[in-house]
Amino acid sequence: MPEPFKRAAVPATSVFKPDLFKDKVVFVTGGGSGICYSVTETLMRFGAKATILGRKADRLQAAAVQLSKDTGSEAFAAPADVRDIDSLHAAVKATLEKFGKIDFVICGAAGNFMAPIEGLSSRAFRTIVEIDLLGTFNTVRATLDEIKKQRGTYIHISATLHYSGLPWQAAASAAKAGVDTLSNALAVELGPFGVRSNCIAPGLIAGTEGADRLVPQGGEDIVESFIPLQRPGSKHDIANATVFLFSEAANWITGQIMVVDGGHVHFRAPWLPYPDSVLDPKSFGELFKGSKL
């Protein structure tokens, strides 16, 4: 049986023109760490200036310093809690004082943990919904006037959790489903003002807290076998999708959910080697030996 082909992640800087976002300002919740840190770094490498938001001021300031050093652009730390709209208004005001405008917004702040329904308290459920869904609404509400002025763009970092019933992820699944529909409503309401709103739904992204929690230790190979492109995602993959959706190449794309998951959303019809799997039924069992379908 031939070895599966594994397509490598490609940094956006090898695809798009270097000054793509010169003079643009991006406002990023959750920008101090994880996927949104990498996305912010990529946008800054294309010339954007960035305000990053998070609750831990010291960590956020260190992230802003590092981003500025690594990219040659300018990152500004604005401590805020997306559950508190007043703190978001303060961050918007500080951004305008610093950079004068806001062109792009990434709603990326998120919370999650694994828990069965019977072990999930009302308070815990509410906390995830408040961070993921209410936090997205609050971010939109606080930035809306400025985004309308600039005919700007929203990108909401969603997920693929809610595309099927996923155990131990009820709160995050419900919240992200709400983010998707909120984005669609924004696209319709704000389209006449020249504002676009889209979601990016990452699949399994290597090197993130989510991947560490969701993939059982020693189960990496099994999980990869469910992904048609035969590898977990990279933060580059999400950054590339963000660059595209913010670029003029996507100026007629709004109200969409871009799934970036290597085809994993179709895992119930998993990739099989052909023609071996057809000719020899045993190969199906061997391919998923030890897994729990």
Sign of CA dihedral 266, 269, 272, 274: negative
Residues 87, 158, 173, 234: which is the catalytic one? 158
The residue type of 214 is L
Cα–Cα nearest to 37, from 28, 49, 45, 46: 28
The span from the CA of 145 to the CA of 9, in Å, is 36
Any catalytic annotation for residue 49?
no
Residues 176, 197, 225, 235: which is the catalytic one? 176
Tokens of 190: 């704000």
Query: 119, exposed or middle or buried, with CB in 10 Å at 0-12, 13-18, 19+?
Result: exposed
The span from the CA of 151 to the CA of 104, in Å, is 9
Q: H-type helices in 54-133, by residue range?
A: 57-71, 85-99, 122-129
Any catalytic annotation for residue 225?
no
The span from the CA of 98 to the CA of 50, in Å, is 10
Cα–Cα nearest to 186, from 263, 84, 254: 254
CA angle 41, 142, 208 (to 5 degrees): 35
Q: What are phi and psi of 197, to 5 degrees?
A: -140, 120
Tokens of 179: 């983010």
Catalytic residue numbers read 158, 176
